[in-house]
Structure 1
Amino acid sequence: MTTRLNLTPRNLTLELAHSGIPSAAYIHIPFCRRRCYYCDFPISVVGDRLRGETSGTISHYVQILSQEIAATPALGKPLETIFFGGGTPSLLSSSQLAQILARLERQFGISAQAEISMEIDPGTFTLAQLQAYLSAGVNRFSLGVQAFQSELLQACGRSHDLNDIWQAVELFRQAKVQNFSLDLISGLPRQTLEQWQESLLKAVAIAPNHISIYDLTIEPGTVFGRYYQSGASPLPSDELTVQMYCLAQQTLTKAGYDHYEISNYAQPNYQCRHNRTYWENRPYYGFGMGAASYTNNQRFTRPRKTKEYSDWVENFIAAGGVLDCPQTPPEEVLLDILMLGLRLKEGVSLSALSQFGDDKIQQIWTCLQPYQHQGWIAMTGAIAQPFYAKGWNKVIGNMFYGENLVGDWRLRLTDPQGFLFSNVVLADLFEKLE
């Protein structure tokens, strides 16, 4: 039996955008041994000798972070996902991480089935430390490998070497880690296609549950931003980076990984639940220096400097945990839904777009139709009887010669061509809809 889909547009109540109560929390841990040459994240460099057990700076930050969490109003649901990002969260002691989790538990509650993820770098943890993180509640790790060639690790300023990578993998095995992801970067200076293929094959041989593939972006203010211009030698050419992207898609899908998001691949049942919160434009808490949050239809990013963040937390507590920022206007919500949702393999549900009215629907389709002819955009769903989709039935009906339609119809980028040209498609959408 088919389910009728009723997509009657609502008033711009933004019901789909903010009806959910946050059940996800991002925790920013800003400390690193050194700053990688491509990094523009809000971090504090502590060197090779300091870590959570020995650094007063880190201890003080954990205290301020805990104060922010305690001052944030709980909006109702226990947390289903928690993500410790950075920076290098594995510079925290296990007791500091447990302290943060205990504060989250007291303030919001944590579901028994929660996904608790932690970014962790090779060379920054021992077996005892890893076991303590697991005992504290972490059940998913993201290992920042980036490359399997010593010269490339050195070229991008990483603090670890190849021995650290293999030792980290062995420690995961000894600790019986059940769920871990591995990060790689393509498009590094002087990186060849042969090196990229080697990295992909070594990653597949390790058999992590999840692999993230990031194409290097040259950011202003970084070391790479001072040395290199995007598209210029010694960076790989645009043609070569396209080959790298396609090679990753072919290699990883052949190895059984689902290409579920532009930059992410997962074995069955191992997609990152936390990151899907972002891509599905659902609300989430954010805590820590430079962290972003999306609650009560308000997007807010905390200060990126330590002193400014500390001062902000003091003022936040004095204000009773109220964010001083406007609500996200409807036009920005629409752009967020498109920008984030089109990153996913399944794309954006038409029901999430219908609330914005027929005029916007027609604008979206007028913009996307040329890309559909090029094979970059696809519309997927089922044909059946009956179908109600004011605004969309004309668009979809014209594609299928007046057939009646049913189900969760979606707009999506094709893989790999649509994903490769996502920036072109999204830039056009933003220009047409703003």
Structure 2
Amino acid sequence: MACSQTASGFRCFTALRSRRGLTSVARAAAGPTAAYVHLPFCKRKCFYCDFPVEAVGLNTEKPRTQDRMQAYVDLVCAELKATRSLTDAPLTTVSFGGGTPSLVPPQLLESILSALQQQFGIAAGAEVSIEADPGTFDLQRLLQYKALGVTRVSMGVQSFQEDLLKACGRSHSLADVYAAIEAVTATGLPSWSLDLISGLPGLSLQGWQHSLQQAVAAGPDHISVYDLQVEEGTPFARWFSVEGSPLPKEPEAVAMFEAASATLTAAGYEHYEISNYAKPGHRSKHNQVYWQCQPYYAFGLGAASYTRGRRFSRPRGMQEYEAWVKRFVQGGAGCPAAELPVESKEEQLLDVIMLSLRLSDGLALQQLQQQYGQETVAALLPTIQGFLQQGLMQVLPCDAQDVQQAEDAIVPGLSGSSGTVEVDADAAYMQLCDRLQRGKDVSVRLTDPAGFLLSNDVISELFAQLDSRTLSKAL
């Protein structure tokens, strides 16, 4: 199971992302070509987890458990069959999340994929991904998933230390991890990902570096690195709310983030999002739907969808979700939350700033200016200039001329603490303003790791510049 990511002292905006929408009115009106399906079953609930899941025990082959899975899949299929297609384009990404989707038998996954195909269509070459935990699958099951059209597996390893797996309540062992890596490698899938969690109780920097090295040695195409977030209502929240907590302190958490960036980029992974690294051509297409503020369908317990500018989260309790599906099917609305108001343009503006700066592709200022007016960008520029001077932001070259200007801005003989060359911030800012004045594309991004580490502060400061007067003129 993947984790939401919030680093101690440098919180990211995953929680905000879960309730915010699109970057423009045009995108808000666009039809989704992505679908998320929540499969909530787990052997046991991890001590840090606050996701809507249902623990079914270690023996998942019991008839009662299999019947429960069948009943839930029938419910999900009923929901998606009652959901109206909002575009003529087929789905280009499908993501099965959880929970532990790899507990679900292949024939039940086939039922959902068949329903998706019938209702919306699935494009040839679509990315179909499934989250999988070690100890819940073998090579045969993965090959069956592959035969159904699964193209990507995201494996929740979390740690390469046996004691930490036990400490956070994982149901798998280190032996399961290595067996799972061997199995997923043998499938020949186009892409697979491996998840790690930093900030676990008792985790040292040395232990973290060991996990990073083992992850690289496993050879995944993609690695996600999440910092533990202690959520209210979880065992961790009860156990670690007092002084003397075994959770790493902020300096250690920062060192772990820096170690991940240094180790994984040196191994050839692109740090393309605050928590995600990919080899060339292996970015998560489905997750980019969220980060690029595009609409998407969602189905299942607690799942959040975004369609036609409206975000809607389904009930998190199984009985409540079942009752909601029955009302939805009988009501014949065809589109959940159709009665809700469309997100405001102000919310959309905050979204595009927040989510774009999570990505290495950065924030496109010319596009921002076209969508939200010159006043908006003008209000942000002084703060952007300050972050350029602090080394927390950089201007992205957009064409050959920009590349030359960027090279001319390099300060000879100097390098930053991360080993990268220093750039004249004033020259970079002049380049940025010149391109804006000429109506040319120009983007700014957070530096890695310094800017990413302080993303919360940077984004909050940018938000603060958009006062009510500026927003009223722009929007």
TM-score w.r.t. length of structure 1: 0.90
Q: Distance in 1 between matches of 2:243 and 2:131?
A: 29
**Correspondence 1:304 to 2:316:** yes
1:11-22 matches, within 5 Å, as: 14-22=24-32
Q: 2:70 aligns with which of 55, 59, 66?
A: 59
How has the CA–CA distance of structure 1 residues 314 and 366 changed in structure 2, closer, same or farther, with 3 Å as cutoff?
Answer: farther
CA distance in 2, matches of 1:155, 1:364: 44
Q: Displacement, 1:173?
A: 3.0
Distance 1:402 1:243, change over 3 A: closer
**Alignment of 1:23 onto 2:33:** yes
Q: Paired residue for 2:18?
A: none
Matched, 1:36 2:46: yes
Deviations 1:318-339 (A, max 9, x none): 3322323221111111111111
CA contact (8 A) 1:94 1:129 kept: yes
Q: Does 1:364 align with 2:380?
A: yes
Residues in 2 aligned to 1:64 and 1:369: alpha-carbon distance in whole angstroms: 52
The correspondence of residues 179-198 of structure 1 with structure 2, limited to 5 A, is 179-198=191-210
Contact 1:16 1:352 in 2 (8 A): no
1:220 equivalenced with 2:243 (yes/no): no
The equivalent of 2:266 in structure 1 is 254
1:242 maps to 254
| 1:353 aligned residue | 368
Q: In the aligned structure 1, how far is the partner of 2:242 from the partner of 2:298?
A: 31
Q: CA deviation at 1:227?
A: 1.2
CA distance in 1, matches of 2:317, 2:464: 33
1:432 CA drift (Å)? 4.1
1:246-395 correspondence runs (5 A): 246-320=258-332, 321-322=334-335, 323=337, 324-354=339-369, 355-382=371-398
Q: Deviations over 1:366-420 (max 9, x none)?
A: 44433222111223245869xxxxxxxxx99972397455643112111111100
- Counterpart code for 1:238: E
Q: Does structure 2 conserve the Cα–Cα contact (< 8 Å) formed by 1:210 and 1:265?
A: yes
In structure 1, give the amino acid aligned to 2:454.
F
Supply the distance in 1 between the matched residues of 2:104 and 2:62 (Cα, whole angstroms). Answer: 4
Instruction: Work out the CA distance in 2 between the residues paired with 1:248 and 1:397.
Output: 28
AA aligned to 1:358 is Q
1:50 maps to 2:60: yes
Per the alignment, do residues 197 and 14 of structure 1 end up closer, same or farther by CA in structure 2, a change over 3 Å counting? closer
- Maintained 8 Å contact 2:161/2:207: yes
**1:55 Cα deviation after fit:** 2.5
Unaligned runs of 5+ in 1: 1-11, 386-394
SS at match of 1:28: strand
8 Å Cα contact 1:380/1:409 also seen in 2 = yes
Query: 2:431, 2:243 → 1: CA distance?
Result: 41
Opposite residue 330 of structure 2, the aligned amino acid is A
Contact map agreement 1:52 1:96 (CA 8 A) in 2:
no
Alignment of 1:71 with 2:86, yes or no, is no
The 1:52–1:318 alpha-carbon spacing in structure 2 relative to 1, beyond 3 Å, is: farther
Q: What SS does the corresponding residue of 2:441 show, helix, strand or coil? A: strand
Query: Once the 2 structures are TM-superposed, how far is the Cα of residue 231 of structure 1 from its aligned partner?
Result: 9.1
Equivalence for 2:140: 128
2:75, 2:322 within 8 Å by CA — same for their partners in 1? Answer: yes
Answer whether contact 1:52 1:93 (CA < 8 A) is retained: no
Name the counterpart of 1:9. none
Check conservation: 1:117, 1:142, Cα contact below 8 A.
Answer: yes
For 1:414, which of 437, 442, 447 is the aligned residue? 447
Give the secondary structure class of the aligned counterpart of 1:184.
strand
Alignment-derived partner of residue 433 in structure 1: 466
Provide the C-alpha distance between the structure 2 equivalents of 1:337 and 1:288, rounded to a whole number of angstroms.
27
Which range moved further: 122-131 or 86-95? Answer: 122-131
**For the structure 1 residues 399 and 270, does the alpha-carbon distance in structure 2 shift closer, same or farther, using more than 3 Å as the test?**
same
| 3-state secondary structure, aligned to 1:55 | helix
User: In 1, distance between residues paired with 2:243 and 2:118?
Assistant: 49
Counterparts in 2 of 1:397 and 1:418: CA distance versus 1, 3 Å: closer
Secondary structure at 2:372 match in 1: coil
CA contact (8 A) 1:52 1:59 kept: no
Structure 2 CA distance, aligned partners of 1:259 and 1:28? 27
CA–CA separation in structure 1 for the residues paired with 2:280 and 2:349: 30
TM-score, normalised to structure 2's length?
0.82
Offset at residue 424 of structure 1 (A)? 1.3
Cα-to-partner distance string for 1:160-195 (whole Å, 9 max, x where unaligned): 001100111111233333311000000111100110
Q: CA deviation at 1:51?
A: 5.0
Report the RMSD for the aligned CA atoms in angstroms. 2.4
Distance in 2, matches of 1:326 and 1:263, equals 32
Query: Secondary structure of 1:80's match?
Result: strand
> What residue ranges of structure 2 are gaps of 5+ in the alignment?
1-21, 403-425, 468-475
| Secondary structure of residue in 2 paired with 1:158 | coil
Q: Distance in 1 between matches of 2:366 and 2:276?
A: 25
Q: CA deviation at 1:128?
A: 1.8
User: Partner of 1:3 in structure 2?
Assistant: none
Which deviates more from structure 2 when the two are superposed, residues 396-405 or residues 318-327? Answer: 396-405
1:399 aligns with 2:399: no
Give 1:186's aligned amino acid: S
